[in-house]
Structure 1
Amino acid sequence: MGDDGNGRNHQVFDLSIDVHPQGGSKCYDDDGRLKRSGTFWTASSHIVTALIGSGVLSLAWATAQLGWVTGPIVMLMFSSVTYYTSTLLAACYRSGDTVHGKRNYTYMDAVRSNLGGFKVKICGLVQYLNLFGVAIGYTITASISMMAIKRSNCFHTSGGKNPCHMNSNPYMIAFGVVGIIFSQIPDFDQLWWLSIVVAVMSFTYSTIGFGLVIAKVAETGKIRGSLTGISVGTVTQSQKIWRSFQALGDIVFAYSYSLILIEIQDTLRAPPAESRTMKKAILTSVGVTTLFYMLCGCMGYAAFGDLSPRNLLTGFGFYNPFWLLDIANAAIVIHLVGAYQVYCQPLFAFVEKITAEKFPDSEFITKDIKITIPGFRPYNLNLFRLVWRTAFMVVTTLISMLLPLSNDIVGLLGALGFWPLTVYFPVEMYISQKKIPNWSTRWICLQILSIAFLIITIAAAAGSVAGVIIDLKSFKPFSTAY
């Protein structure tokens, strides 16, 4: 539509008014873009892809730090708040009228329409820094799982006699190379099939992890753990406090997905209203995810008690059956390859959009080269997209190689992005959109919610930073063997 000029856009708009009073035509939506085809199921698969990540495997450790009472309560609390604020955010996809209002294609667009001013820049900085951080975290986590496959086979071959130390760099490089190939998928809405595959992988390794801890409980015949978590004596008082904060970081990361919620919603077809479909998808996805989190976290704690590993499938709470561990860790790697792209597509699109607007006459940036692929539709190769996305993958891979293989990094990333993107901006946009008066009962309740989770986020970030500092003491970039 953009290449056809304003006249043709106007003509299509007139046709949509005559034939379809609610906006759009058979080929185009009410904004002149090609008809969106996303459904409740594709939106749900995108959300599950973003939510049920490898963070689920650290929830047993997190529960062990908090105990049988606080652990499940904290998970349910984050689940409820994530659901509630996500519904507030979904209502901001259109400005004004939720059915016929102007579309906001990205999270930043929603903030610009509802809040404007300096908050737009703050939102963009937080969102895209968080996306960049997630890319690094996923690269580190994927390499841990790839190493776990190699190590489990090494242990099996040597009968546990070989310590099986290895360097993580080749695995990070391999993940980066695969990512470069997948990153050339040009449009976010073409990733629906990838999200479904990734969602299946999520359930695969989560189910295997859950099955193994059930088997462990059945083997020992008892449920381990305590009401208050790991006891002082096993760890010092200060370690108990910092570990509890780190556990919050792990749980926060497990529920972080709001930064791409608007982009997911922009793939939905209408009618019914996008916000209506999205709210159903949020309820279903968050509900299913919370069930998995509770089962894996609680049953993992029941199996191992205070000795719960930081990662159920790579911390070697299990050694056998080694082939099942290999399947689970392979599923994690496949999941992270896909989830990396789902998360990074908004960042890719943002940079490419800004660059195209700034240099509209540059063929390097705007021109597509059609490449014929037998049996498939032609692929549009854009040289700028090829260079920029490849450079992004190279940079994130190099930074990952400079950091220790630590779950605390993942927890820190989750903590830094959770409050502003999952709580603060959705609450502020809702207040602005509904014109809620200052100091009214609803306004006070929303502000209390925001402040409470700001405090929790600061605590989680502090715990994760403490963990990273400890890991850095024994880490040497590019040379440390694990």
Structure 2
Amino acid sequence: MMQSFDTEHNPSAVESGDAAVKSVDVDDDGREKRTGTFMTASAHIITAVIGSGVLSLAWAIAQLGWVAGTVILVTFAVINYYTSTMLADCYRSPDTGRRNYIYMDVVRTYLGGRKVQLCGLAQYGSLVGVTIGYSITASKSLVAIGKANCYHDKGHGAKCSVSNYPFIAAFGMVQLILCQIPNFHKLSFLSIIASVMSFSYASIGTGLAIAAVASGKVGKTGVTGTVVGVDVSASDKVWRSFQAAGDIAFSYAYSIVLVEIQDTLRSSPPENKVMKKASLAGVSTTTVFYLLCGCIGYAAFGNQAPGDFLTDFGFYEPYWLIDFANACIALHLIAAYQVFAQPIFQFVENKCNKKWPESKLITREHSVNIPLLGECRVSFFRLVWRTAYVILTTIVAMIFPFFNAILGFIGAVSFWPLTVYFPVEMHIAQKKVKKYTLKWMGLKLLVSVCLIVSLLAATGSIVGLISSVKAYKPFHNLD
């Protein structure tokens, strides 16, 4: 049975002659009642923050050493939490209490001008990059499963080559289905699954590293990390240190989806208070896992720590556990793709709804009863546009397998404005912090230091990108 109805300006509000549809519970802004809680917000944050990059933190600490590595890791955890609380306080407009649904709305309310466009460019450019990067990263994990089985059968020195292209295509096919989830509010179940998966593979990686340390077969570590002239050249030491500092800084950044996550929360208790608690829980949890994976991983592998000790085969056995961990990574990235893609979908669809409010093609939705899933709302425009987006990101992932190097640069460029500059500037405007006071100077110092880190990380990413492009072979298997 199919029922059609229009969604007009507000895609979440349902209008129809059917009394049952009219009685849909709505919030104070006329949108569908928000049901998000501390638990769902925490799950969204953990899904956005803990990625497979947690397994590369051993490499990052190897470049920086015990002291600088751990200090930088904890410092950026504190910075990200601090600025996230500022951003959470800006969700509602100061005078009217009106909700700001997306990051650009928040910047428009507090700062205005060209900064709104700069925010949109940084946010949506980063979101698009992340979705492409996740397609590649998920395929690497699936390739690692095939290689682990091959190494187990033929020996660790065997030539095991597995094509990543079928896996990128398979990842895209799964996203074609998931991308039809109407909005961010419906992603809670995916984020909870993703959080469990991230804890699983991070725990497995940490457990394997602990076993390696206990066996006594560990690499050489040091206070300053890799040694010039022994492990790396002087120039490599500099560039890798910049890149490692950037990797750690960006590994906490979830500001690009913070406002969208906060917009899923119930209005009582106040959204900003719940969001702050969720941010504290999310950042604290990820910091514990980061310290465990990074420090214990470095202790196990020393200065020769691989970029990812599961997909780069820091461990070969037990192969079935490696397979399970990589499967967990792939499942986590399947859900994480949606967390980062949904803001893009919503932005485009809301823009189209505003520009063509009379178009039935864009505004009309159909209610379809699907076995096991119940009643679902299907939009032809959403079906076509989201399918096209997934296909495009999948094709780009296939053509540019070195895109993760580009993603490092995108992360470096977007980290400073989205995670530090805009939250700090909006906090100054909101709280009317006077110029040249101690607090004002402290906030400006924070912005300046993070800008330097971003610039250095961007430089290191460019050097790494040049190396990747030189070694680039179109449609070549990942060996």
Alpha-carbon deviation of 1:256? 1.7
Counterpart check, 1:169 vs 2:165 = yes
CA contact (8 A) 2:66 2:223 kept: yes
Asked if 1:208 corresponds to 2:204, the answer is: yes
Q: What is the CA deviation profile of residues 147-179 of structure 1, one whole-angstrom value per residue up to 9, with x for unaligned ones? A: 100111111111235311232211111111111
Query: More deviation in 287-296 or 222-231?
Result: 222-231
TM-score normalised per structure 1: 0.92
Map of 2:321 onto structure 1: 324
Match of 1:242 in 2: 239
Cα offset for 1:143? 1.0
Matched-pair identity in %: 53
The answer for the alignment partner of 1:89 in structure 2 is 87
Match of 1:158 among 154, 159, 173: 154
- Within the alignment, does 1:43 sit opposite 2:41 as a pair? yes
CA deviation vs aligned residue, 1:267-326 (integer Å, no higher than 9, x gap): 111221111111111111101110110110000000000110000111111000000000
- The CA distance in 2 between the partners of 1:389 and 1:438, in whole Å, is 46
Of the structure 1 ranges 303-312 and 167-176, higher mean CA displacement relative to structure 2 is found in 167-176
Residues in 1 aligned to 2:36 and 2:26: alpha-carbon distance in whole angstroms: 14
Aligned to 2:70: 72
Q: Supply the distance in 2 between the matched residues of 1:258 and 1:60 (Cα, whole angstroms).
A: 24
Q: In the alignment, is the contact (CA less than 8 A) between 1:250 and 1:410 conserved in 2? A: no
SS at match of 2:410: helix
1:288-307 alignment, distance < 5 Å: 288-307=285-304
1:441 is matched with which residue? 438
Render the CA deviation track for 1:115-162: whole Å, top value 9, x for unaligned: 111111110111000000111111111111011001111111112353
Provide the secondary structure at the position in 1 that maps to 2:160.
Answer: coil
Counterpart selection for 1:271 from 261, 264, 268: 268
Shift of 1:357: 1.2
1:35 deviates by: 2.2
Which has the larger displacement, 247-256 or 459-468? 247-256
Question: Equivalents in 1 of 2:460, 2:403: separation in Å?
Answer: 13
Per-residue displacement from partner, 1:324-366 (whole Å, max 9, x unpaired)?
0000000000000000001110110000010111112222211
RMSD (CA atoms): 2.1
What is residue 121 of structure 2 aligned with on the other side?
A: 125
Give the aligned residue type for 2:342.
Q
Q: Is the 8 A contact 2:365 2:378 kept in 1?
A: yes
**For each residue in 1:364-384, what CA deviation from the matched residue of structure 2 results, as whole angstroms up to 9, or x when unmatched?**
211112222134432222111
Corresponding residue to 2:453 among 456, 465, 482:
456
Correspondence for 2:19: none
**1:284-363 equivalent positions in 2, closer than 5 A:** 284-363=281-360
- TM-score scaled by length of structure 2: 0.93
Distance 1:148 1:375 in 2: 34
1:58 maps to 56
Distance of 2:83 and 2:447 partners within structure 1: 10
Q: 1:357 to 1:4 in 2, by over 3 A?
A: closer
| Aligned-partner SS, 2:36 | coil
Q: Does 1:148 align with 2:160?
A: no
SS state at 2:358 partner: coil
Q: Which residue of 1 aligns with 2:16?
A: none
Contact 1:55-1:253 at 8 Å conserved across structures: no
| Secondary structure of the corresponding residue to residue 281 of structure 2 | helix
For structure 2, list consecutive stretches of 5 or more residues without a partner in the other structure.
Answer: 14-22
Task: Specify the alignment match of 1:432 in structure 2.
Answer: 429
- Tell me, yes or no, if the aligned pair for 1:67 and 1:230 is still in contact at 8 Å: yes
Paired residue for 1:394? 391
Question: CA contact under 8 A between 1:224 and 1:301: conserved in structure 2?
Answer: no
Pairs aligned (count): 463
Q: Which runs of 5+ in 1 are unaligned?
A: 10-24
| 1-structure distance, mates of 2:7, 2:472 | 53
Helix, strand or coil: the match of 2:137? helix
2:184 aligned with 1:188: yes
Alpha-carbon distance between aligned partners in 2 of 1:134 and 1:325, rounded to the nearest angstrom:
25
